[in-house]
Structure 1
């Protein structure tokens, strides 16, 4: 017997770590308009795959409806009653041919329905991923990578059964149930109505259960999101976990999240399973009614034996689609819970919007202006207080200040990852709100302190910012930033697979690759955000020499705590709490003996102490 995971109450206090994911149950009534929206993904296949699937389904369903009538009314009431062996032989052959036709129809249905479903899932996942990639940074600030992963993978996977089998099976069951009811009413209205007396009760029960079941499946999705978030966080932070010997605490926390996930599945499946016993009970009641009332009608000569036999066939078939419709309804509830979460992301609009007639800035020169710019990440946290500054074309500008002073915020506004709350940010005299986003970012390269290296070769990683670059250009960019030396020492050189996040490389080597990537893109504006923090002093000196040549003709923004890297900057802006305290060259600021002077002095005192 499988052990039930033990939920440790003390771990619950940690679950507030997941509040930022914004994964909450969406408490809405079952919305058919949303289901219609989901069905629109089938539209591209309505001229080929869908018609073939429906036609093959109709063939097999019609055969199943015809055969019981042939057996009861023709075989028993006519052929056997009149001892007509010739008719009976023809009937047997005819039924065999019909079953062969049904087999072919079923085979075609299964094949094309699966092809249809997989295509729809592919399109939906592609659409969601493409949409998420276009969302603003603010969207990702409030959600973990794990919760986003759940939407794109798990939630869409939960729709797979709906599209591969559910829709066509739903049509098939509706057609079959409708056909059975019509045939039964034609054969014997009295017996048909007697058998179907239980249906209103079933409908009432299913109506009562549906909201509760749907809510349970929403909770399953939420718990899966939390579980994935924790797994993603744990794997990425495994070195920190091990360095602080927190494996046990992390495991206990995982047990708590895993238990919540287990319990949500247990509750949802328990509620979903309640429907089938009611269907089986209805089948039993229907059988009792058929035997008792059917026998009475035969004795009263209201129906023939063949009609009774046809009813017996149809009774088994009658509750089968009802049972499947109950399961299908549970499937619809699961799909609804998943689709609500998917459409929540698809309905999310970028905070940074592009105007219809946006200006193309492909000929950007790199003259930057901030005019009374204020920016707040939220109402309580203002990052910039109406600052005004100018960065002339081709200048190297440095931004210095303590953590949280607003340096990276200025860089984010230049790349238009965010829009200012007040004021305007201009490049070449054009308000960035009026410019095409891609044309801005294609002219800007950003190198971060925590650089990201993708799975693939070193050549592919450097070429990421400019996919059409020739191998020779990639190698030249690596040589300029001093990355060529360590790349050549690798087993396969530029064709070396660097694995996820560049795990085979040191922090300094990853940073050199990011420099090469940025420089290969040939930007008009280059932003270095603590880009040399992970590089040793010797490597930094090589890069400083390379940057003197590479920054020529480009506007460069350097953000650095290590003040030795910004001495050569044309202008240095000193920030504190989102305000500009001082500005000028290194020499000018040192003569002022203000905040910048104190920062430089404190750093040299630290070095002397070492």
Structure 2
């Protein structure tokens, strides 16, 4: 993705602009700190010239006290400026982290299929964290040092124009050298951030599947992949180290040149009686400060490079468009059953691949459709299209006669409830797991829904009621109990459409009956889609849809199909036990 400078600028200003009052105060304290640091060598000059002229003792004591007060004041004001700079930087980048994370969550599933979770975590947290560190010191270590160096150049030029011009030329040369090294380093540091993301993604991918790797004998392959990735990381580290070291060498050369200019020029002017000894020492002090600022800039070079690389990667992520675009809305009403229409829908996850072929069917509001077929027939893909995780390659999907491409995505997903085999649980209380941490939902409402779903006895078995602590991943809960939680979550949404995606395929028969009783109450007066592995799961549906390799091979009322000896559904009923699963 090619981005322009204006896009980087607009992205930064979006988060820095709300901080402008703090920014103004920070600027004032920074300028005050610079002024005090520039003033102190002037006091030193007065002190030395007074000593050389055998001046008044009170003047010397006053100069010494003033020097100490100004030095202490400069440190206090500088610390205040540093604190405000950090506050502005972290506040702005925390907002950036939040919005970039939300943008990633809202991107289509094709994007998430192409990027591992570990990589995205590194880009959102790692890159924004690098930018936070940079912003927290940028004003002080780069802008502040730059302004201080400019002030020194102006003062030296005022003392002697030739020494001033020499230092200006020296500064221009140093600046151009730094800019050149930065331009050489940015691509290397961009690659460094990407390799870091790849490494985190590698760890995440293989740690999650460690048992499969070990049992399938894939350890050697994983190690080879790791060694190859680590070799690339090491190679990049060497290159970035060379660039950074080259910058340090260049700075050292310029520092030596700057000291030569001051020593030679100052000595000549002193012998020619154009300046005093105090002025020479003052110049030497300014050059020392100037030198320190260049050294500080050299030490921040690596952070500068990383920040530039991180900003590029964050901007690329932030400006990545979703293939699934939000619509104006189609006016879905919570809890009111919606009709579903698939009109010649075809779909594939990758270009040239077709998973669903010309799928066409209609389901009236309040009807329940049972979808059956072997694994890989396209059942789950069909439900993903309803959620608009993807858009069809061709054809139209409608709810209540409205194309769902025109739906507001948040509104659409709020009005569709889904229960799958895998239920995401958090390390939190039962209450928070049911409400997704929404404290606006009262306990009384939760308990009412639990009773309405017929789960009161199950709830009363929980040791601490709604305060029962659950662990992430559902530790301590059976698969059936996790499904019950998912059903309550859906009931709280009050959707117009409910999807059960093979939700009971891993349950024992007793738990499945409990879940089915709750499901019956959940589906009352709602449109439902039930994707099943077992024929028993679709015994009460209104219609049956049989998928085979992405094609509808049969669709119609369940009762009629069951009575038709030539129908596929009827043949399945005769040849399969109701509890037997499809292959």
Is TM > 0.5 for Structure 1 vs Structure 2? yes
Choose which of 338, 357, 360 in structure 1 pairs with 2:331: 360
- 1:569-600 deviations in Å (ceiling 9; x for gaps): 21111122322111123443352534445555
Higher deviation after alignment, 533-542 or 261-270: 261-270
Choose which of 67, 74, 78 in structure 1 pairs with 2:40: 67
Distance 1:28 1:384, change over 3 A: closer
Residue in structure 1 matched with residue 389 of structure 2 by the alignment: 417
Displacement after TM superposition at 1:104 (Å): 2.7
Choose which of 12, 15, 33 in structure 2 pairs with 1:38: 12
Residue in structure 2 matched with residue 12 of structure 1 by the alignment: none
Counterpart Cα distance in 1 of 2:579 and 2:314: 52
Matched, 1:372 2:344: yes
Higher deviation after alignment, 336-345 or 226-235: 226-235
Residue in structure 2 matched with residue 219 of structure 1 by the alignment: 191
Displacement after TM superposition at 1:407 (Å): 1.7
Counterpart Cα distance in 2 of 1:550 and 1:181: 77
Q: State the secondary structure of the residue aligned to 1:229.
A: helix
Distance 1:32 1:395, change over 3 A: closer
Counterpart Cα distance in 2 of 1:443 and 1:195: 69
Residue in structure 2 matched with residue 434 of structure 1 by the alignment: 406
Displacement after TM superposition at 1:530 (Å): 0.7
- What TM-score do you get using the length of structure 2 for normalisation? 0.90
Distance 1:566 1:435, change over 3 A: same
Q: State the secondary structure of the residue aligned to 1:390.
A: strand
Distance 1:227 1:294, change over 3 A: same
Distance 1:350 1:65, change over 3 A: same
Counterpart Cα distance in 1 of 2:291 and 2:372: 75
Distance 1:76 1:533, change over 3 A: same
Counterpart Cα distance in 1 of 2:454 and 2:506: 15
- 1:462-502 deviations in Å (ceiling 9; x for gaps): 23398644434434544566765555445434422222221
Matched, 1:529 2:501: yes
- 1:438-458 deviations in Å (ceiling 9; x for gaps): 332222110112222223122
Counterpart Cα distance in 2 of 1:466 and 1:90: 65
Q: Residues 53-452 of structure 1: matches in 2 within 5 Å? A: 53-72=26-45, 74-77=46-49, 80-81=52-53, 83-195=55-167, 197-241=169-213, 243-244=215-216, 250=222, 253-254=225-226, 256-355=228-327, 357-362=328-333, 364-452=336-424
Name the count of aligned residue pairs. 579
Q: Are the aligned partners of 1:352 and 1:416 in contact in 2 as well (CA < 8 Å)?
A: yes
Q: State the secondary structure of the residue aligned to 2:469.
A: coil
Residue in structure 2 matched with residue 553 of structure 1 by the alignment: 525
Matched, 1:496 2:505: no
Q: State the secondary structure of the residue aligned to 1:158.
A: helix
Counterpart Cα distance in 1 of 2:578 and 2:385: 34
- 1:350-372 deviations in Å (ceiling 9; x for gaps): 322223x4332125431111122
Q: Are the aligned partners of 2:565 and 2:571 in contact in 1 as well (CA < 8 Å)?
A: no
Counterpart Cα distance in 2 of 1:125 and 1:99: 38
Q: State the secondary structure of the residue aligned to 1:382.
A: coil
Distance 1:91 1:546, change over 3 A: closer
Residue in structure 1 matched with residue 477 of structure 2 by the alignment: 505
Counterpart Cα distance in 2 of 1:247 and 1:418: 35
- 1:550-574 deviations in Å (ceiling 9; x for gaps): 3221111011122221132211111
Q: Are the aligned partners of 1:482 and 1:543 in contact in 2 as well (CA < 8 Å)?
A: no
Q: Are the aligned partners of 2:341 and 2:363 in contact in 1 as well (CA < 8 Å)?
A: yes
Distance 1:59 1:200, change over 3 A: closer
Distance 1:329 1:450, change over 3 A: same
Matched, 1:455 2:427: yes
Counterpart Cα distance in 2 of 1:578 and 1:370: 13
Distance 1:581 1:473, change over 3 A: same
Counterpart Cα distance in 2 of 1:45 and 1:528: 47
Q: Are the aligned partners of 1:399 and 1:574 in contact in 2 as well (CA < 8 Å)?
A: yes
Distance 1:464 1:172, change over 3 A: closer
Counterpart Cα distance in 1 of 2:158 and 2:176: 27
Q: State the secondary structure of the residue aligned to 1:500.
A: coil
- What TM-score do you get using the length of structure 1 for normalisation? 0.86
- 1:62-105 deviations in Å (ceiling 9; x for gaps): 11112212322x33345632533343233223323322321331
Displacement after TM superposition at 1:42 (Å): 1.6
Displacement after TM superposition at 1:159 (Å): 0.9
Q: State the secondary structure of the residue aligned to 2:473.
A: helix
Q: State the secondary structure of the residue aligned to 2:348.
A: strand
Distance 1:440 1:584, change over 3 A: same
RMSD: 2.9
